[in-house]
């Protein structure tokens, strides 16, 4: 049973690490603020809990496990809320998402629609 827990924990840690890296790549590669916040928010909302679950499987039953579980619950509650509030603040600040115009298909470029 201990080997199974180690394998599952390793899977969670590797998958969470991969999602963190893919969120970072999305943050660098996406064209506008809203795409970037979507890429980072979606991946981090899943990556952090996967990393924490992998760590919890490695821990013994103790107060530390309870603390990591509370951090997990806090992250699951605040990450989507923070992402939504940043996007809403950007909209209220006048920033508009980039949209594709009908003539931009062959060029592959996007323009800002106001």
Token duo for residue 103 = 């003539």
- In tens, the pLDDT along 21-41 reads 988 888 888 888 888 888 888
- In tens, the pLDDT along 85-95 reads 888 998 888 88
The predicted model scores a pTM of 0.74
Given a cut of 70, whether residue 111 has pLDDT beyond it is no
What gap in Å lies between CA 59 and CA 12, rounded to an integer?
14
Could you tell me the sign of the dihedral formed by the alpha carbons of 49, 71, 38, 80, in that order?
positive
Of all residues in the chain, what percent are helix, strand and coil, respectively (each to 5)?
A: 75, 5, 20
Given a cut of 90, whether residue 12 has pLDDT beyond it is yes
Contact 110, 31 (CB under 8 A): yes
- Is 9 exposed, middle or buried, given 0-12, 13-18 or 19+ CB atoms closer than 10 A? middle
Domain range enclosing 8: 2-112
What gap in Å lies between CA 86 and CA 79, rounded to an integer?
11
What's the confidence (pLDDT) of residue 112? 57
What's the confidence (pLDDT) of residue 91? 85
What's the confidence (pLDDT) of residue 114? 54
Burial state string for 74-86 with b = 16 or more CB within 10 A and e = fewer than 16 = ebeeebeeebeee
Given a cut of 80, whether residue 48 has pLDDT beyond it is yes
Q: How many domains does one find in the chain?
A: 1
Under the banding of pLDDT at 50, 70 and 90, the label for residue 106 is: low
What's the confidence (pLDDT) of residue 107? 56
């Amino acid at each position: 049973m201990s080997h199974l827990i180690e394998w599952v924990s390793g899977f969670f840690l590797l998958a969470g690490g991969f999602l963190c890296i893919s969120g970072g790549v999305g943050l660098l590669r996406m064209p506008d603020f809203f795409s970037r916040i979507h890429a980072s928010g979606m991946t981090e909302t899943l990556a952090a809990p996967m990393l924490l679950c992998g760590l919890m499987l490695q821990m013994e039953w103790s107060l530390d496990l309870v603390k990591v579980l509370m951090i997990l619950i806090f992250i699951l509650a605040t990450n989507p809320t923070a992402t939504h509030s940043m996007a809403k603040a950007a909209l209220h600040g006048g920033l508009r998402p980039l949209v594709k115009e009908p003539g931009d298909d062959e060029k592959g470029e996007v323009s800002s629609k106001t």
